[in-house]
């Protein structure tokens, strides 16, 4: 058997292809997860495939994003999701039970399994030794229908951890240090696998924080071994039978090694507006702060909030800011209440929000105009907080708590002696907010409930050999899916209504985009490096497709968005010479000959008369899916 954790798990799951770096392999998927912002569309797609019951080992549907119910839309979607789960044999985690990644880690994740989820932070489960990847909702729907999930066999980067974290330094500082070194681009096709003696000093929640935010590097996933520490966590959750030992062999080899001495890490901070813009807190200085937000799927575990509660005990937050806390699960809240930590938070002045994503996706708690918000979240993209000119800093729970006390960005070491916390030997388990699947015969009798905002899936025609149209927009590097398809309380409720949500494509970048796309009959998008980084939201491909976008031509793509473009029949192309990006302008008339996509493509700029060579990384199957008009029509022929 191969030597690394990644190789061991993948070798058990490859159905087609060879384990050769860069070659496409088809993986058997054991589990899937969805959340409500992406799940409604994923299940509409699953229904369209026509399978009578899911074919995974198990799948879980969570409600944790669209919990702000200002009208009927979110409530209707939640009822749809619950009825679909009953009909097709899916676990359903009800609103209020917690954030999908935290609850999945606590109650579902299994070492050695493969998992895809319609949320980019699905790699959180890598903290327990699960090979977990974010994907678009259509890929999840296909996996539930029994189709394999295809990826390029990854380059395995070993991150060797030595030493032990000092007081006031935590797992968030570790992943910020990783991001400081590797940044948010250039890591497509890589798996970050953690090994070394330092791994044994990190708990499963610590590891999950690291694998969660590893998503921001752009890698396929991040993973830790499943060892005795993993076993103790599962035992405390009453799930010891799910444990298996999966550790790298002593002679395991990695394609690349990054060495990090945990003892040398200091409190870190990611400055606006990128998770890769990392500095030491001490070097940034005492920035005045208007808001502190603690939580998200990165830092809402019991360990993190117990630490915050201990720091705030007997103290009050600064009068110059407000503090919000979003616990990761009911289990976390239950323990905080019984231990007295919840009272510490309340007495200090924290506003405790429900167990949901909340401010992380712009669902409430937007900062003041021009405000500074210090958050324990994983993303600080411009405008993601709900306030376009806000400045968002990403930090650890320790740094956030110290900042909340002082009113300015604070190195927590300035508070003196660090508090000590003790994790429970046995967690308080209460799964009454998780609805289990019905027996198959009973499930067939379930009626699926659809509200008026849930619109039928649009259908798309097969892609022709020649694509023609205007350049609708030209953008720069590191364009995120938030830029393409914003989130927030206004737009998220429209996720099941493609005609309506398409009106908001590129809204924050170019408010005229929708009208141009409609009046010009669609066209092309041109971009720079790392196009489509961030969230897995397939609406960033589906809505542009609805508006007639035929191809996206950029210098490089982020992995999940590239897959989503293929899934919805938008041709993803890259400049053979990146300098040719400068030879195209918005409004130019283009003609792109793609043929059968078996080789390179040529672009003729009809406005300037220039010819530009393009290329792609499409496999033969990718090309077949594209030419069919997308994955949904393709999969219906093959399942």
Which positions are annotated as active-site residues?
Answer: 64-65, 119, 379, 535, 537
Residue 58: strand pairing partners? 31
**Whose CA is closest to 111, among 210, 9, 219, 237?**
9
3-state secondary structure 259-289: EEEHHHCCCEEECCCCCCCEEEHHHHCCCEC
Residues 6+ apart with CB under 8 A from 138: 42, 45, 538, 564, 567, 568, 630, 631, 632
Spatial contact of 287 and 270, defined as CB atoms under 8 Å apart: no
**Whose CA is closest to 122, among 182, 184, 188, 35?**
35
Helix runs in 160-280, H state only:
171-182, 204-213, 228-236
CA distance 583 to 611: 10
Handedness of CA 478, 479, 483, 487 (dihedral sign): negative
Query: Nearest 5 degrees, angle CA 340-CA 346-CA 347?
Result: 90
**Whose CA is closest to 268, among 177, 369, 201?**
177
Give the number of other Cβ atoms within 10 Å of residue 28's Cβ: 16
Query: What tokens does 149 get?
Result: 């999930």
Q: What is the largest CA-CA distance in the chain?
A: 72
Residues 6+ apart with CB under 8 A from 532: 479, 480, 481, 484, 540, 557, 558, 560, 561, 562, 564, 565
Query: Nearest 5 degrees, angle CA 89-CA 93-CA 94?
Result: 120
Give the number of other Cβ atoms within 10 Å of residue 70's Cβ: 10
CA distance 181 to 256: 14
Helix runs in 502-615, H state only:
513-519, 539-546, 559-567
DSSP state of 251: T
Residues in the chain: 639
**Whose CA is closest to 564, among 140, 208, 185?**
140
Cα 238 to Cα 223, 421, 423, 538, distances in angstroms:
22, 22, 15, 35
Spatial contact of 233 and 131, defined as CB atoms under 8 Å apart: no
CA distance 320 to 284: 20
Instruction: Encode 164-183: b = buried (16+ Cβ within 10 Å), e = exposed.
Output: ebbebbbbbbbbbbbbbebb
Spatial contact of 405 and 318, defined as CB atoms under 8 Å apart: yes
DSSP-based three-state secondary structure for 39: helix
Q: In what order do the strands lie in the sheet with 31-35?
A: 131-134, 114-117, 31-35, 58-62, 91-93, 434-435
Q: What is the DSSP string of 340-392?
A: THHHHHHHHT-EE--SS-GGGGTSS-PPPTT-EEEESSS---TTTTS-TT-EE
**Whose CA is closest to 540, among 483, 463, 488?**
483
């Amino acid at each position: 058997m191969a030597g690394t954790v990644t190789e061991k798990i993948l070798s058990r799951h490859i159905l087609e292809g060879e384990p050769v770096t860069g070659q496409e392999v088809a993986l058997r998927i054991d589990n899937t997860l969805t959340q409500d912002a992406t799940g409604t569309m994923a299940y509409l797609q699953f229904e369209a495939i026509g399978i009578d019951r899911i074919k995974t080992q198990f799948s879980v549907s969570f409600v944790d994003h669209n919990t702000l119910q200002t009208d009927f839309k979110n409530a209707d979607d939640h009822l749809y999701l619950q009825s679909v789960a009953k009909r097709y044999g899916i676990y359903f985690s009800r609103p209020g039970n917690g954030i999908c990644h935290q609850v999945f880690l606590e109650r579902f994740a299994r070492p050695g399994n493969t998992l895809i989820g319609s949320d980019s932070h699905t790699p959180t489960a890598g903290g327990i030794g699960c090979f977990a990847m974010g994907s678009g909702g259509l890929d999840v729907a296909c996996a539930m229908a029994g189709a394999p999930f295809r990826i390029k066999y990854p380059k395995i980067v070993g991150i060797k951890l030595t030493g032990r974290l000092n007081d006031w330094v935590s797992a968030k500082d570790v992943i910020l240090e990783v991001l400081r070194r590797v940044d948010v681009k250039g890591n497509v096709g890589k798996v970050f696998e953690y090994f070394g003696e330092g791994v044994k000093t990190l708990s499963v929640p610590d590891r999950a924080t690291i694998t969660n935010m590893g998503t921001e590097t752009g890698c396929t996933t991040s993973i830790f071994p499943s060892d005795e520490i993993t076993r103790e966590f599962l035992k405390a959750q009453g799930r010891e039978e799910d444990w298996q030992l999966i550790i790298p062999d002593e002679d395991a080899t990695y394609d690349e090694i990054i060495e990090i001495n945990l003892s040398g890490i200091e409190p870190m901070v990611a400055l606006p507006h990128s998770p890769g813009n990392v500095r030491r807190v001490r070097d940034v200085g005492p920035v005045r702060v208007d808001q502190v937000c603690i939580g998200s799927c990165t830092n809402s575990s019991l360990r993190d909030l117990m630490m915050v509660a201990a720091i705030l005990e007997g103290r009050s937050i600064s009068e110059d800011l407000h503090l919000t806390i979003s616990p990761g699960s009911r289990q976390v809240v239950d323990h905080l209440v019984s231990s007295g930590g919840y009272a510490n938070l309340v007495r200090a002045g924290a506003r405790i929000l429900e167990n949901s994503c909340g401010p992380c996706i712009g669902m409430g708690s937007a900062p003041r105009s021009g405000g500074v918000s210090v958050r324990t979240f994983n993303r600080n993209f411009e405008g993601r907080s709900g306030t376009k000119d806000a400045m968002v800093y990403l930090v650890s729970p320790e740094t956030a708590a110290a900042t909340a006390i002082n009113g300015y960005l604070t190195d927590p070491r300035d508070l003196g002696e660090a508090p000590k916390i003790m994790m429970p030997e046995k967690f308080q388990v209460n799964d009454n907010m998780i609805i289990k699947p019905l027996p198959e015969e009973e499930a067939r009798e379930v009626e699926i409930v659809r509200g008026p905002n849930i619109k039928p899936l649009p259908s798309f025609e097969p892609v022709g050999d020649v694509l023609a149209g205007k350049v609708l927009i030209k953008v720069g590097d590191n364009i995120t899916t938030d830029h393409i398809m914003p989130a927030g309380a206004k737009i998220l409720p429209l996720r099941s209504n493609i005609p309506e949500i398409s009106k908001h494509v590129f809204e924050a970048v170019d408010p005229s985009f929708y009208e141009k796309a409609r009046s010009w009959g669609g066209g092309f998008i041109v971009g720079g490096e790392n196009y489509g980084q961030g969230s897995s939201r397939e609406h960033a491909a589906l809505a542009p497709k609805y508006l007639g976008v035929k191809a996206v031509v950029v210098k490089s793509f982020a992995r999940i968005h590239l897959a989503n473009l293929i899934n919805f029949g938008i041709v993803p192309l890259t400049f053979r010479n990146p300098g040719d990006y400068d030879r195209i302008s918005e409004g130019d008339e283009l003609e792109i000959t793609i043929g059968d996509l078996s080789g390179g493509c040529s672009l003729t700029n009809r406005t300037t008369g220039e010819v530009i060579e393009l290329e792609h990384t499409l496999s033969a199957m990718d090309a077949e899916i594209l030419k069919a008009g997308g994955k949904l029509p393709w999969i219906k022929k093959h399942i």
